[in-house]
Chain A
């Protein structure tokens, strides 16, 4: 892996078209966010002159809508169409295990606060609007308190708003950010995470001012989940886990851990390591 050359990002204008051309790729994949900048810089034409097409994929701006198309496209270009279809089918099946139940039972939707990268900085609180994790929460049968407040995918809530909305569930997104904020208050969930430590840090986050007296904290409905699900074709695993937290009775038999394990065994060259989520309510069980 260390022999693979790295690239600058396009958003910040550090993509080096000369480097890209000199590596003689058959195709260049770009995130859809970079499209405006790419066109602006005229790189499409420059690379086209060398016979290198640019293909835009999206796993982040609107993952639910764009992921299947992106996977399918990559499958076609990499000559792995069958694998791509198998993955999309798997994803659809796993999604249906949540959507079918929610549609049929039409349960009351708990108010959910998504604490984006909670504890990463002492500024409170970054969250998601109606997209990305906002979508995940809605599909999993919850109601994102920031839906009507944050106009786009990403935004920041007034801490007072969290107390005023009184969420019944809090979902903190986390990851191992030791390299960026050493010893920070973030919750380090992810492959092979130290669960005791993650749980301790999640508990510590509930003592922030913005969490004062909210139902979720009173009833230990505070959870942490791997932040990178926001930017990953495995989002359906996150949705399963959210659904299980929001509606434990409806999803007794759903096992997101098994889903993620199956995904690894069927599609990935990596061995599955658990640790992608943790909850404060686990103690009662």
Chain B
């Protein structure tokens, strides 16, 4: 997009232009980071137990000096939720960003490929019938089931995609087929489930951060910490993938292998997130698109911007979901969609250049 302008000017001007562009993108990243930090602080400061800011601060800085109740509220209830919002938002958004990249499809996300639907089905099996896929770790059967089914889905899509004549468009279609299969299986579970289990399943499918606990935060954070450097290492190759397989191959990228590696990695990211907090739909689709509008396709900026956008949307959603009716928690999936989609539409309709 900017290459043509740069080509018509002298090398000196080009260099200046490039430096300004990089600087502008760095400023955008810093701005996102600042907004995220602000949202995180608000998430910690607000809650139905109306503590003063100073009380929350002292609970954070000197946990020994405050009453047990306030320290439990800040450290065991608000903190895991606030962190989980950021980690899950970033994970889902990165997962969506890289799926869009490797499949060259603006509609790709953990949801359109059936990975989230698979996780939802696994969780529903556990919630409605107590069916565990692995015989141990009974306390964690819901997330473990969700994770296993999601990974199986990703593997199945991969195996099918290995067949001769399967193109990336076919992969997206396979994913959509998966979504419908799992939705039907889910409906079948709801058909047989008890009233009590049904409400648990429904609540789970709407997504909720209130299930966040410290161990879950650590696991999700660990997965994110493993995935980001691995993806960043392939940054240039992934940027090249956006030019099409043939061009990428001419630059020394091996598209099929890269696609498999990235697919497995993002499945891991998405399924762990979905396993812990339920299905929070739209982050994986919209986070990366907002990031792309802000900083473009270059993975050096696109990857961190996607992570920050996703984290920011979910963090703001978390604040709204608990403030709308104080004392109760509106499932965050509803909030992120209701708040995020108008914002997304605003960006899309006001975009001057083509976004894909």
Given A180-B128, A182-B130, A183-B138, A161 contacting B194 (CB threshold 8 A): no
Which of B127, B194, B210 has the most chain A CB atoms inside 10 A of its CB? B210
For A185, give the chain B residue with the smallest CB separation.
B139
Instruction: For B73, list chain A residues within 8 Å (CB).
Output: 160, 163-164
Minimum distance in angstroms from A7 CB to a CB of chain B: 13
Instruction: For A146, list chain B residues within 8 Å (CB).
Output: 327-328
For A151, give the chain B residue with the smallest CB separation.
B325
A159 within 8 Å of B (CB atoms): yes
B210 touches which of A117, A124, A181, A212 (Cβ 8 Å): A124
Minimum distance in angstroms from A56 CB to a CB of chain B: 18
Instruction: For A151, list chain B residues within 8 Å (CB).
Output: 325
A271 within 8 Å of B (CB atoms): no
Instruction: For A179, list chain B residues within 8 Å (CB).
Output: 129-130
B49 within 8 Å of A (CB atoms): yes
**Contact between chains at A180 and B194 (CB < 8 Å):** yes
* Chain B interface, DSSP helix/strand/loop, else mixed: helix
Minimum distance in angstroms from B185 CB to a CB of chain A: 15
**Contact between chains at B210 and A123 (CB < 8 Å):** yes
**Contact between chains at B203 and A123 (CB < 8 Å):** yes
The CA of A155 and the CA of B139, in the complex, are separated in Å by 24
* Chain A interface, DSSP helix/strand/loop, else mixed: loop
The total of Cβ contacts below 8 Å across the A-B interface reads 101
Instruction: For A160, list chain B residues within 8 Å (CB).
Output: 47-49, 73, 77-78
Contact count band on B: 35 or more
Which residues 321-341 of B sit at the A interface, judged by CB distance below 8 A?
Answer: 322, 325-329
For B47, give the chain A residue with the smallest CB separation.
A160
For A122, give the chain B residue with the smallest CB separation.
B211
The CA of A210 and the CA of B48, in the complex, are separated in Å by 13
Minimum distance in angstroms from A38 CB to a CB of chain B: 18
The CA of A164 and the CA of B67, in the complex, are separated in Å by 13
The CA of A116 and the CA of B138, in the complex, are separated in Å by 22
Minimum distance in angstroms from B72 CB to a CB of chain A: 4
**Contact between chains at A159 and B328 (CB < 8 Å):** no
A149 within 8 Å of B (CB atoms): yes
Instruction: For B48, list chain A residues within 8 Å (CB).
Output: 158, 160-161, 164
**Contact between chains at A120 and B200 (CB < 8 Å):** yes
The CA of A182 and the CA of B126, in the complex, are separated in Å by 10
B20 within 8 Å of A (CB atoms): no
Which residues 247-273 of B sit at the A interface, judged by CB distance below 8 A?
Answer: none
For A149, give the chain B residue with the smallest CB separation.
B327
**Contact between chains at B69 and A157 (CB < 8 Å):** no
Which residues 295-333 of B sit at the A interface, judged by CB distance below 8 A?
Answer: 322, 325-329
Which residues 3-44 of A sit at the B interface, judged by CB distance below 8 A?
Answer: 8, 12, 14
For A123, give the chain B residue with the smallest CB separation.
B211
A272 within 8 Å of B (CB atoms): no
Instruction: For B49, list chain A residues within 8 Å (CB).
Output: 160-161, 163-164
- Provide the A125-166 mask, 1 if CB < 8 A to any CB of B, else 0: 010000000000000000000101111001111111101100
The CA of A245 and the CA of B68, in the complex, are separated in Å by 27
Instruction: For B326, list chain A residues within 8 Å (CB).
Output: 149, 158, 161
**Contact between chains at B327 and A180 (CB < 8 Å):** no
B329 touches which of A158, A164, A213 (Cβ 8 Å): A158
The CA of A11 and the CA of B329, in the complex, are separated in Å by 25
The CA of A184 and the CA of B73, in the complex, are separated in Å by 25
Which residues 193-220 of A sit at the B interface, judged by CB distance below 8 A?
Answer: 209-210, 212-213
25 contacts between A and B (CB under 8 A): A8-B191, A12-B191, A122-B211, A123-B200, A126-B199, A146-B327, A149-B325, A151-B325, A156-B210, A158-B326, A158-B327, A158-B328, A160-B49, A161-B48, A161-B328, A163-B49, A163-B73, A163-B77, A164-B49, A180-B193, A180-B194, A180-B196, A181-B197, A182-B130, A182-B138
Give residues in B with beta carbon < 8 Å to A. 47-50, 67-69, 72-73, 76-78, 127-130, 138-139, 142, 190-191, 193-194, 196-197, 199-200, 203-204, 208, 210-211, 322, 325-329
Closest 6 CB pairs of A and B: A164-B49, A149-B327, A161-B327, A161-B48, A212-B72, A182-B130
